[in-house]
Amino acid sequence: MRALTVCLREHCGARIKTSDSNHMKLKDRVAVVTGGANGIGRAMCERFVAEGARGIVIADLDIEPAEALAKQLGGIAVKTNVAKESDIEALVARAIEAYGAIDLFCSNAGIGTPGGADEPNEIWQGIWEVNVMAHIYAARHVLPGMLARGEGYILATASAAGLLAQIGSAPYSVTKHAAVAFAEWLAITHGDSGIRVSCLCPQGVNTNLLRKSAGGPGDFLRAHALEPSDVAEAVVKAIEEERFLVLPHPEVAEYFSRKANDYDRWLRGMRRLQASFKSSTSNAQ
């Protein structure tokens, strides 16, 4: 254990210089975006094309708006259920068939659900497949081509809940933490092989997912919500700078630091926040 601690101090404490000349530019690149027909995914597709991407693949279970957006942007749409590995495999194959290679894969699709440990197994399994396994399926099928070329970029959309927690939803918190962990593993394992990784962790964003939430944390997040275009702007900047964490809400970095510096104090604060949500909900009734 002591040897591991020393090793971590030596290697994780060192600063590694990288060349700016190799930083990712979206011009003339090919990007695949899952959950690309709406919300953050749609905004990223639009922004990538505005940045000069030569190819855009809009993957979504809701194929009609995906096809409409693809027509608007000059890309292609692929009906994709990210919970099915065969769909992800077919998506990667279709993108390569259309454009020759994938430079940037945005594993963006996600779902939310309220509840705790007493939620039925099928609820837990359903959100696990979309919020975690979809990232694994994407890496499994997109990495071989990227590693063969010695370059590629993977962006995983998680949530601030993956760094902090989501009051009122154990399944969402657990799966978003797992998504962040898998993105970290990708960056550690393949970062020296030319694979860049970013992990998007916003708080409230004005999307269908947030608009459907009501009461408690949902009201708090809506009050401070960003537009999807703001998130897409943060994503583009992070990709160009090859930053791992993409934090459209900069205060999340401060909260994350507080959590790390004093975990017990942070937990007490989160309990107080939870109590305030319950109190406001009771008063509203």
Q: What is the mean pLDDT of each run of 10 residues along the chain (285 residues)?
A: 50 44 81 97 98 98 97 98 98 98 97 93 97 98 98 97 93 97 98 98 80 59 82 97 96 96 95 81 49
Q: What is the pLDDT of residue 206?
A: 83
Alpha-helical regions (H) of 14-164: 39-50, 63-73, 85-99, 121-128, 134-149
Q: What is the pLDDT of residue 228?
A: 94
Q: Any idea of the CA torsion for 124, 62, 134, 34, to the nearest 10 degrees?
A: -140
- In tens, the pLDDT along 183-219 reads 999 999 999 999 999 999 999 888 766 666 655 565 6
Say if 178 falls within a structural domain.
yes
Report the number of distinct structural domains present in the chain: 1
Residues 76, 132, 217, 120, CA torsion sign: positive
Q: What is the pLDDT of residue 6?
A: 45
Say if 271 falls within a structural domain.
no
Say if 12 falls within a structural domain.
no
Say if 176 falls within a structural domain.
yes
Residues 212, 217, 223, 228, CA torsion sign: negative
d(CA 66, CA 107): 16
d(CA 109, CA 34): 5
At 120, which CATH number?
3.40.50.720
Say if 259 falls within a structural domain.
no
> How many residues in the chain?
285
Is there a contact between 56 and 70 (Cβ–Cβ < 8 Å)? Answer: yes
Task: Name the β-bridge partners of 196.
Answer: 153
Q: Which listed residue (99, 137, 153, 172) is catalytic? A: 172
Residue type, 23: H
Q: What is the pLDDT of residue 212?
A: 64
Active site residue 172: yes
Say if 233 falls within a structural domain.
yes
Say if 8 falls within a structural domain.
no
Say if 6 falls within a structural domain.
no
Q: What is the pLDDT of residue 211?
A: 60
Is there a contact between 101 and 60 (Cβ–Cβ < 8 Å)? Answer: no
Q: What is the pLDDT of residue 5?
A: 47
d(CA 202, CA 234): 10
Structural domain range at position 133? 24-250
